[in-house]
Structure formats: C-alpha cells, structure tokens
Amino acid sequence: MRIKAPGLIDIHSHLRDPGFEYKEDIQSGSLAALTGGYTTIVCMANTSPVLDTPERIRAQIKRFETLPARLCQAAAATIGQQGRELTDFAALKSAGAAAISDDGQAILDAKVMYDALQAAKAVGLPLMTHSEDARIPGRGAAAEEYMVARDLTLAKYADAPVHIQHVTTAKSADLIRQAKRGGTAVTCETCAHYFMFTEDLRRVKGAIAKVFPPLRTQRDVEAIIEALADGTIDIIATDHAPHSREEKARDWDSAPGGMIGLETTFAASLTALYHSGALTLPQLLAKFTDNPRELLGLPKTDDYIEFDSDEEWTLTEADIKSKSSNSPFIGITFRGRIKETVCVK
C-alpha cells in the first residue's frame, strides 16, 4: 500500500564534515538522508574541528543552505568535547544551533553535567546526552545503566529536561520509564540496530557489528521493542556513523565503532515494528516526525514522503548513497520501502 506522510526527521546523524570527508560529507549525507525518507537531520558536533563556537556553527549552517535536504547542527556541550568546560550555550543558540550534545563522548563529571542541564534549560535548547562510561571494560550494560541513572537523577535535581541518546538495555528503558512516571522531564531515543540485532551479530559480521553503545542480548532487544510500544522511548534515530572500508576491516579492538543508518532505519522499523504488530503505523510515524519535531521545537513544513508499506526488497551495497557502506543490513530483506522524498525548502 502506498502511503503519504510528513518528511522524516533524524535527530542524530554523524556526517563527518568537516575533518573526515573521506567517510561522509554534507552532500553525500544529504543524498543518503533523502534516500531513506529523511528531509531533516541534525548533525552531531564531533567533527574536526569540533563545532563548539558560534563562529563554527554559523559557518556550518551557511554551508547547509544549498543542500537538497534540510540540515540542522548540534553544538558541542563542552569545549573540544573534553567534558570539562561548558561552551556558551546562549551564543551557540544565537548562531543557529538546534541542540546541544557531546555525542560520541559522555560528560563524566557530574557537576559539569548538572551545569549543562541548567544552562540548556535557560536557553531553551535540548541537551542530548551520550549516557555511557567508556572506561568500564567492554562497555557492558553497566556502563550505560549507571550513567542513565545518574543523568536522570541530575535532571530531576536540576528540574531540567534531558534527552538520552541510543538507549540499548532493558534496565535503561525501565529507569527512564520510572523517571517519566515520577515527573522527570526526560525523552529518549533508540536505533534500529538495537531492536533488529543482538550481540551475536559480531560472530557473523565482525567489526561491522561494532557500535557504541554495543549491541545487547535478546532480552534487551525485546525490552527495547516493549519500550517503543508503551511510549517510554519517544524517538527512533539513526546514529548514522560512516567509516571507511579500511577502518572497518581492522580487528575488533582497533576498528572504530559505528554503523550507517540513514538509508535503512525507516525500512527496518517498518519491518521489525509495524509488520510484527508491535506498533501501529501512526505510533511508528510519530517517532520519526511529531516527537523529534517537538523535541527540537521545529516548525511544520510541507516536506513529505511516499512509501510502499508492503514492498519487499533486499539491501545491496549498490543501493547505498553514503560514501561508506559499513552497514549490517546489507543482504537483509525489508518489508516497506521509500518511493519518494520531497524536501520543500
């Protein structure tokens, strides 16, 4: 069945530009986004140089003007994403930043995180946090869960909203569920690979399966789907993270973490969530449209997509418009396909 819907919004993409254009650039990232049904995407700030000053934000947004997709820019929460000294949130907002995030790095210092929550609230920008402590061996479930618990506690104490990125475990989802019931102003996201795959993918795909936070257990996958269904998880994001073929060909320990996702996330979600009966189509679409728009405070646009909710297709490397092809979805058959994406700028 062919369906028309608003253009999709991704609040969490890494377009690697400036500094790592061999992996992706804003032009190729825009084409990948449109292929996957996204008309608006928010780019993370972990570029080189880090986008942590008003001047860099303005220059980046100027570059976005001629692109075929609608790109927004998140600004770093701390200088150099070093987790020590806050950037000037008010100046960054005036320069056009759509959100504040040190994604790729956790803000490990609780006082800095508390101050960031208060500063983001004061200027009216969402603070999107990478709640994971990479110092814990293997970046196991505890590395995420205790940081989620900490950030929820700090948000409640600061009486400030927080957005928790890439939720992966049953315990994290339950902590957020309880916090919402208790009145904490928290929103959160997950990604398609966290409800499509388990940690067993490593045996099949090697370093292509390496992602931060890591893939989890089947129990966690089921809990993430449940949290999407009951509204605990508000948004499905891509965490689009391109890497070169050579980088992902390294052994597990030295390969970088990350997967591309702009071209597959919506199709994967239709397949795993809608066709399984876990979510209705309106519930699913809200996690790609209304909920991210509300978080970012974006106006409605005339952007739209048309998709066939039933078409079956298998992803090949030739289908990928991104510069990188580090996708565990290559060879996967989806049910549901984007047919047209229109960004009205």
Catalytic residue among 52, 220, 239, 303: 239
Q: Decide if domain 2-342 falls under CATH 3.30.565.10.
A: no
pLDDT digits (tens, 9 = 90+) for 269-287: 999 999 999 999 999 999 9
What pLDDT is stored for residue 177 in this prediction?
98
Q: What gap in Å lies between CA 88 and CA 341, rounded to an integer?
A: 36
| Peptide bond connecting 49 to the previous residue in cis, omega within 30 degrees of 0 | yes
pLDDT-derived band at 176 (thresholds 50, 70, 90) equals: very high
Task: Tell me the pLDDT of the chain averaged across its residues.
Answer: 98
What pLDDT is stored for residue 55 in this prediction?
98
State pTM to two decimals: 0.98
239 is known as an active-site residue? yes
Q: What gap in Å lies between CA 345 and CA 30, rounded to an integer?
A: 13
What pLDDT is stored for residue 244 in this prediction?
98
Q: What is the mean pLDDT of residues 297-326?
A: 98
What pLDDT is stored for residue 114 in this prediction?
98
pLDDT digits (tens, 9 = 90+) for 57-87: 999 999 999 999 999 999 999 999 999 999 9
pLDDT digits (tens, 9 = 90+) for 177-216: 999 999 999 999 999 999 999 999 999 999 999 999 999 9
- Sheet with 304-314: list strands edge to edge: 2-6, 304-314, 333-342
Q: Return the beta strands (E) in 68-197 as ranges.
A: 70-75, 99-101, 127-129, 162-164, 186-191
